[in-house]
Structure 1
Amino acid sequence: MKVRLKISKDGAELHNGSYEVEDARDFGNACAEAWAALRQRQLERQTSIGALMENIDRSVLDDLVDSQISVEPLAS
């Protein structure tokens, strides 16, 4: 089944992707891809190497606190 995985927080979209999910492994892989995309976005927001070093230990979980995660089926 093709699904859309959306993550938003305070009205801002953090992630939006479509994935083929047939079982728990596929769903886990979709979530892992979303996690990696959020982590990459965190790193890209840093304006300097100093800022990067200050925030390198900040977790993706910090961004996900109070977020909304939805999974919606997509038409085939």
Structure 2
Amino acid sequence: MAEQDDQLIGWSSLNPYSHRCAYNGVADQSIYIDRDYRGKGIGNSLLHAWETKAIENGFRKIVLFTFPFNQLG
């Protein structure tokens, strides 16, 4: 989680992609940054934090789906 002045401004999570054995070690990654705080490096910090957690939890591959209307900045 990312907080500023006791306010949640972003979060990221890793979850097993599927419980089927073919997908062992594959995680689905979710990330959210409050619109007012995007483009300020918060997502980058969250991504680095879950990279360590992915290794600790045996994830070898991470998938992410994005919405076509998401834009930088």
The TM-score normalised by the length of structure 1 is 0.34
Which of structures 1 and 2 has the larger relative contact order (alpha carbons within 8 angstroms, sep 6+)? Answer: 1
The TM-score normalised by the length of structure 2 is 0.35
Structure number with higher helix proportion: 1
